[in-house]
């Protein structure tokens, strides 16, 4: 069997559980999915500051997965960074030979296979720039018409009374009407349980990053394609880390 570890970089357990359920639902018969989050870090990620702080927790979770695999625990065959900013993605890739896939990157790839133009619908307007930077960095900027926000705090997705679904559907409908697109990418790991309802309500293909990343991870593992160790993604050079980061040293 294959083991995929989903890492929720924020520290909200209910979102981690939701991400795990969404990933397990689409996983192949021979694929085991586990979901974790760091115990230290922001309860939600909705700013450059939150992204930066959460990256350290992602790296701790990768190191833990690698250590457990080496100590006779269940080996991790692939990691998913289940936050739409893909925090710590390249640093995480340096730490393992397994594939490491961000949910934004995964969603962008699949959206370009089923449409010539897509829009993104994320949470707070201030985080749109983060998705825009990723689109540039990954080479998908000209495929994306617009990064939109439902203008909801991330944790409203964990609050049934917050009517987050209605606001997301409304923004998706505006995108469908105004953006000249063929598909929509959901811009938050916390939306992973809403895909079917949104697709029904909006009438467009809806690409969701957690499920996209799980299937891409399965593909890479099946093709024996792991993170390259030739060049910039090689394991980091041994060095001392001082102060509270001394545990990272070797
Ligand atoms: O950037 C966002 O709005 C969504 C992002 N924040 C978060 O805590 N999980 C996410 O996927």
What ipTM score was computed for the predicted complex, to two decimals?
0.96
In angstroms, what is the span from residue 210 Cα to ligand 1's centroid? 12
Specify the pLDDT at position 101.
99
- 213 in contact with ligand 1, CB cutoff 6 A: no
* Closest ligand 1 atom, residue 130 Cα: 1
- 11 in contact with ligand 1, CB cutoff 6 A: no
pLDDT in tens, 165-176: 999 999 999 999
Specify the pLDDT at position 233.
98
- 189 in contact with ligand 1, CB cutoff 6 A: yes
The parts of the chain modelled with pLDDT lower than 70 are none
Are the C-beta atoms of 103 and 81 separated by less than 8 Å?
Answer: yes
In angstroms, what is the span from residue 56 Cα to ligand 1's centroid? 16
Specify the pLDDT at position 217.
98
Specify the pLDDT at position 61.
98
Residues in the chain: 250
Specify the pLDDT at position 70.
92
Residues in CB range of 185: below 8 A, 6 or more apart: 104, 107, 108, 111, 118, 119, 120, 121, 144, 207, 208, 209
In angstroms, what is the span from residue 70 Cα to ligand 1's centroid? 31
Instruction: For the chain, give the longest Cα–Cα distance.
Output: 55
Tracing tokens 């990064």 back to the chain, one arrives at 147
Which two structure tokens, joined as six digits, stand for 222? 């099946």
In angstroms, what is the span from residue 191 Cα to ligand 1's centroid? 9
Identify the residue whose C-alpha is closest to ligand 1 atom 7.
45
Q: How many CB atoms lie within 10 A of CB 88?
A: 27
CA distance 210 to 224: 21
In angstroms, what is the span from residue 142 Cα to ligand 1's centroid? 23
pLDDT in tens, 57-94: 999 999 999 999 999 989 999 999 999 999 999 999 99
CA distance 50 to 117: 29
Specify the pLDDT at position 250.
87
Which of 110, 112, 118, 103 shows the shortest CA–CA distance to 183? 118
* Phi-psi category of residue 149: left, alpha or beta, with phi > 0 → left and psi -120 to 50 → alpha: beta
Sheet of 100-102, strands arranged across = 31-36, 2-7, 78-81, 100-102
- 84 in contact with ligand 1, CB cutoff 6 A: yes
CA–CA distances in Å: residue 189 to residues 66, 147, 155, 241: 23, 16, 11, 32
CA distance 244 to 38: 16
Residues in CB range of 1: below 8 A, 6 or more apart: 30, 31, 32
């Amino acid at each position: 069997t294959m083991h995929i570890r989903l890492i929720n970089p924020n520290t909200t357990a209910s979102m981690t559980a939701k991400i795990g359920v969404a990933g397990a639902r689409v996983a192949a018969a021979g694929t085991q999915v586990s979901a974790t989050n760091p115990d230290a870090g922001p309860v939600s990620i909705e700013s450059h500051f939150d992204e930066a702080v959460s990256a350290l927790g992602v790296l701790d979770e990768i190191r833990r997965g690698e250590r457990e695999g080496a100590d006779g625990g269940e080996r991790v065959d692939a990691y998913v960074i289940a936050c739409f900013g893909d925090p710590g993605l390249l640093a995480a890739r340096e730490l393992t030979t397994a594939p490491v896939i961000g949910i934004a990157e995964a969603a962008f790839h699949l959206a370009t296979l089923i449409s010539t133009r897509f829009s993104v619908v994320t949470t707070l307007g201030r985080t749109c720039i983060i998705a825009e930077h990723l689109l540039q960095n990954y080479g998908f900027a000209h495929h994306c018409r617009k990064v939109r926000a439902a203008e909801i705090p991330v944790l409203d997705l964990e609050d049934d009374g917050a009517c987050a679904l209605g606001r997301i559907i409304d923004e998706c409908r505006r995108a469908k009407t105004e953006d000249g697109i063929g598909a929509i990418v959901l811009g938050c790991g916390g939306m992973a349980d809403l895909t079917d309802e949104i697709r029904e309500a909006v009438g467009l293909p809806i690409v969701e990053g957690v499920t996209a990343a799980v299937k891409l991870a399965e593909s890479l593992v099946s093709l024996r394609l792991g993170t390259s160790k030739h060049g910039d993604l090689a394991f980091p050079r041994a060095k001392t880390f001082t102060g509270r980061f001394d545990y990272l040293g070797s």
